[in-house]
Structure 1
Amino acid sequence: MNEAPQQIGDKDAQALLLQVRAWALELGFSQIGVAGIDLASAEPGLAAWLAAGFHGAMHYMEAHGLKRARPAELVPGTLRVLTVRMDYRPRGSVEDWQAVEWRGLGDPQRAQLSIYARGRDYHKVLRARLQQLATRLEQAIGPFGYRVFTDSAPVLEVELAARSGIGWRGKHTLTLHREHGSMFFLGEIYLDLPLPLSEPISAHCGQCTACIEACPTGAIVAPYRVDARRCISYLTIEHDGAIPIELRPLMGNRIYGCDDCQLICPWNKFAGKSTLPDFDEREPLRAPGLLALWAWSETEFLRFTEGSAIRRIGHARWRRNLAVAMGNALRAGSDQGISMALREALPSANELLAEHIEWALQQAQPERQAEHAHPG
């Protein structure tokens, strides 16, 4: 940050914000807002969440502690946080996209990936475009202090989005908007410009608890509180060890992330489509079968996930997730070559994968035992 922040009059600041909003729309952002940096009221909730251990193995959250709620400590000199929303529902998705996703979840042979992960890595897309936005602003007014963030640092994104009018915090802890649902990414630019603050909007979850009831693993332990250790998104992406045995049957065919709390949300019937091709579904990730993905070598995994958020979990974790889904397919009585594929992979599997493969194969045993007990 600069030692001496830019001096801008109120009238000039309003005009500048209008210009920034126009640039943001040109760059594919759907909405911008401006938040202040006093997040003191969010600190008790953050401290309680960390104390409960709900962050699981995401130790970086604990390491940064309350700095997440103190923007000026994270980036000295910060006066405002410019927040952005970028819709990611693929351009080619149909109007009844929620029904399509529920059907996919009901097909044991299919691999279900979170919608946002089927296209280009959002970190790359948002970071590049946020930088372009900051560069345009710098070209217009001269040098100023700023730092760009996209789910990449100790930033209270949802809190900042709520304070800047992007939406309200839903009971599933995601940001919600009455006219746009929750199918969007958030990004921020910490800056030392005294831009005018945006007005927050009121919450509209009411008495609805659909997201809490829909969570497959009961990870939404209370309204506005998620235990990441039970969340399928955490288990399939952040968690690098063995997936707890008691949670495996609840994961179904979800191999990367989970969208259930968003699929069930009434507000998401208004979820808008992205204006960018970046989030279009890649062919290998469009309604893929479990066996097709299981057949990928590590080289093929790296090739098919190049530029994708999926790549960062690595081939080993990818196979672990698939093994769980394949075990759940066997439990559902849907084999079609799954048992054979698992057995063929077992001799060369490392200890972690072998344990998940063996568990998966065991899921078919009760059915087989019943067949032996009642032949014909």
Structure 2
Amino acid sequence: MKSEESLKTRLVAQAKAEGFDSCRICRPGDIPEVPGRLREFLDAERHGQMDWLAERTAWRGDPQALWPEAKSVIMLAENYGPDENPLDLLERRDRGAVSVYARHRDYHDVVKKRLKRLARWLIAAAGEAEVKVFVDTAPVAEKPLGQAAGLGWQGKHTNLVSQDLGSWFFIGSIFTTLELPVDPAEQDHCGSCRRCLDVCPTNAFPAPYKLDARRCISYLTIEHKGPVDPELRPLLGNRIYGCDDCLAVCPWNKFASRAREVKYHTRDDLRAPPLADLARLDDAGFRAMFSGSPIKRIGRDRFVRNVLYAIGNSGDAGLAEVARGLVGDPDPAVSDAARWAVARLEMK
């Protein structure tokens, strides 16, 4: 036990040296409530078009099924805090609002490299050990595991919140066959606060701690394929990739700080990009602008569709001509969004 404690102490120190802001440990079986919550979410069809959530539910609900040999799960947090309040940009209707996490390098790449280095260190330090690393791309219940390990707690908006980091942090995990000492789970500190629920423009929370992704702006602008429901389009505002509203209003952000990693600092061209410029992107221009960015994965058509919804919500009649130029776009969702934007601006 003494050697395990010593290894854990060294592991935490090495995690900080790698750039992680928090390192906590739990057991794979510490989240027995997840299968029931996942089944309820899927049965209510709140996952929308995210069919991958309905696949491999046994793994997603039980980390022990994902890798039976794993004895410990090392949960890591890395701060990506912004240098300004992202809600301020929502008032600049002729500019596009991109979620804070997507304003620079793709965090999957950055975090995974750190995880792999830490995992290699652990193998060298422990002698015999097996490891697997995950960052948001495998059927792993990372947020419940994060709470079980003590990184933070799942707030009423279902995202992880930390007393030290606020809302702005990425999480990654290292599964290992080592049996390391665990940390206490974090308790819920939301209390009676409901700011995250009340600020949601689309009422995506049917109840505290429950999300209907079909109404979530992050889902609608990133995961949803094809035209967005006309009833929801005006509620998107100028949000063209993701949404930070429920994160930004959390009072625990008083303890948050700007990201130390420069790869998470906002690119100048994504701080307040003009909608007119973004709407004119062709496929080559889109791929060049968003090379190395998580935005690249949704493709030019879905991105320009989002930009056109924002143009329609801008109230700026001068942007009608930009939208009119895309009415004949080959992509049906883009041309539909262009017609909607023109009609909305002419109505204004």
| TM-score of the aligned structures, taking structure 1 as reference length | 0.90
Q: What is the RMSD of the two structures over their aligned residues, measured on CA atoms?
A: 1.2
| Contact map agreement 2:316 2:345 (CA 8 A) in 1 | no
My pick for the range that moved more, 127-136 or 279-288, is 279-288
1:252 aligns with 2:233: no
What are the within-5 Å matches in structure 2 for residues 203-242 of structure 1?
203-242=188-227
1:360 aligns with 2:337: no
In the other structure, the counterpart of 1:273 is 258
> 1:320-351 CA deviation, whole Å, 9 max, x = no partner?
1111111111xxx3223x11111122223422
1:62 partner letter: A
My pick for the range that moved more, 141-150 or 79-88, is 141-150
1:42 aligns with 2:34: yes
Contiguous gaps of at least 5 residues in structure 1 = 1-9, 368-376
1:176 partner letter: V
In the other structure, the counterpart of 1:118 is 103
1:260 partner letter: D
Q: How many residues align?
A: 347
What are the within-5 Å matches in structure 2 for residues 224-373 of structure 1?
224-329=209-314, 333-336=315-318, 338-367=319-348
My pick for the range that moved more, 246-255 or 14-23, is 14-23
> 1:66-103 CA deviation, whole Å, 9 max, x = no partner?
3212112112301111100010124xx1xxx22xx222
- Give the C-alpha shift of residue 174 in structure 1: 0.7
| Contact map agreement 1:47 1:66 (CA 8 A) in 2 | no
CA distance in 2, matches of 1:251, 1:215: 10
Query: Match of 1:226, SS?
Result: coil
- Give the C-alpha shift of residue 143 in structure 1: 3.9
In the other structure, the counterpart of 2:163 is 178
CA distance in 2, matches of 1:265, 1:216: 15
In the other structure, the counterpart of 2:71 is 79
CA distance in 2, matches of 1:296, 1:270: 38
My pick for the range that moved more, 185-194 or 39-48, is 39-48
- Give the C-alpha shift of residue 147 in structure 1: 0.9
CA distance in 2, matches of 1:366, 1:239: 27
CA distance in 2, matches of 1:263, 1:334: 27
Query: Match of 1:312, SS?
Result: helix
| Contact map agreement 1:211 1:261 (CA 8 A) in 2 | yes
1:320 partner letter: R
- Give the C-alpha shift of residue 145 in structure 1: 1.5
CA distance in 2, matches of 1:322, 1:356: 9
| Contact map agreement 1:113 1:254 (CA 8 A) in 2 | yes
CA distance in 1, matches of 2:296, 2:141: 25
| Contact map agreement 1:86 1:186 (CA 8 A) in 2 | yes
Work out which of the two has the higher radius of gyration on C-alpha atoms and give 1 or 2: 1
CA distance in 2, matches of 1:208, 1:348: 45
| Contact map agreement 1:46 1:66 (CA 8 A) in 2 | no
> 1:109-139 CA deviation, whole Å, 9 max, x = no partner?
0100001100110110111110110011112
| TM-score of the aligned structures, taking structure 2 as reference length | 0.97
| Contact map agreement 2:167 2:248 (CA 8 A) in 1 | no
| Contact map agreement 1:172 1:224 (CA 8 A) in 2 | yes
Query: Match of 1:81, SS?
Result: strand
Structure 1 stretches of 4+ moved >3 Å: none
Contiguous gaps of at least 5 residues in structure 2 = none
